[in-house]
Amino acid sequence: MKITDVKTFVVKNPPPHFGGPYFIFIKLVTNNGIEGIGETYAMPFSPHLVARMLEDVAGRFAIGADPFNIEHLWRTVYSAGYLQHPDLSLLGLLSAVEMACWDIAGKALNKPVYQLLGGQVHPRLRTYTYIYPKESDKTDVYRDPELAAERAAEYVKQGFTAVKFDPVGPYTAFDPRQLSLEALERAETFCRKIREAVGSRADLLFGTHGQMTTSSAIRLARRLEKYDPLWFEEPVPPENVAEMARVARATTIPIATGERLTTKYEFARLLGKQAASILQMNLGRVGGILEAKKIAGMAEAHYAQIAPHLYCGPVVGAANIHLSACSPNFLILEGIQTWGGFHAEILKTPIQWEDGYVIPPTGPGLGVELDESVAQAHPYTGKNLHLNVLNRPL
């Protein structure tokens, strides 16, 4: 069996755009007609340029290759152009191609991908969601702690046992920064109000996006400890593992991080410095499914857990599900609310979510099929990046 064709899709994610303004998918086709789907996450280039980059990488390395030879493909792409370094952009492309190869392999063997990675450990997967705004909101749920607490209680009634929120404020190109007293107070108020609203029915996942200096993160963590969050996410930028380790040593709140990291090499440094105990790899960036499984294995040896990150489309979500289902040290899975809306519409069969849990699919491969008619009906024609930061300091 050989890969013979590649096609890409840049799909507009309609309002409210949860998961980003667009999704970028790749489809690989073999000479015996098996199709595999993959997705890349948050590249720092125009999405249509990313699609061309995907086609270049797939055309150069995947066309003519056996989709089962994933390790060989991975090393070849990783070393392309004498790079051999955890580069965010190349690894995002490789992740999508690798994911599609696993989808093909599972379909060829008529097995779910998790059955090819050691077998199923978890029959259902605990999930969480960010606290998202509604069109009817009179205030900003990201700035109004009372509204955020109300929304958190609504999610708990739906079945969620954890909610995430980031009240620290915008992230900028000039972070990390020292938070003002006002910002510290607002963040603590969010945590207090949400804890009062959900009680012990749900964990609080305190998300940040690397906005703080080490000292500022420690100051905030000490304010938050009394509310017992399950984690303090990316308290400082991911570029300096030693400083994240300083935060970890200074607080009783577990540190979670990983959405901006790639490969086993970066996660090995994280674990070696004891900088985090919850790893949030994004499978559309980290290097794909097998690379994430290797990272999960390293984490297991350090008594660390995995909580795969998702802020993109449902194909990365499906890959996260397979990794989680076969990993003993799985903790919790990020979703976009209940996996409905456009995340369901773009798939022929939506991901199954029940009372706060995802039920892993039993179909072959990733267990999801892209509805190409929907993808083609929602082309993205803009040039914006998936995520943007403020271009001025706060």
**Residues known to be catalytic:** 209, 309
At 217, give phi and psi (nearest 5°).
-60, -40
Gap between the Cα atoms of 367 and 356, Å rounded: 20
Q: Which of 242, 247, 246 is nearest to 232 (CA)?
A: 247
Peptide bond into 314 cis (omega under 30): no
Q: What's the CA gap between 203 and 162, in Å, rounded?
A: 4
b/e sequence 115-135, b meaning 16+ C-beta within 10 Å: bbbeeeebeebbbbbbbebee
Q: Compute the distance between CA of residue 175 and CA of residue 126 in angstroms, rounded to an integer.
A: 32
Report helix, strand or coil for 262. Answer: coil
- Report how far residue 37's alpha carbon sits from residue 201's, in angstroms, rounded to the nearest whole number: 37
* End-to-end Cα distance, the chain: 55
- Structural contact between residues 325 and 360, judged by C-beta atoms closer than 8 angstroms: yes
Structure tokens given for 174: 């000039």
Cα separation, 187 vs 181, in Å, equals 10
Per the listing, tokens 């995995």 go with 306
| Distance separating alpha carbons of residues 47 and 50, to the nearest angstrom | 5
Strands in 41-172 per DSSP E: 125-130, 162-165
The two tokens of residue 22 are 């667009």
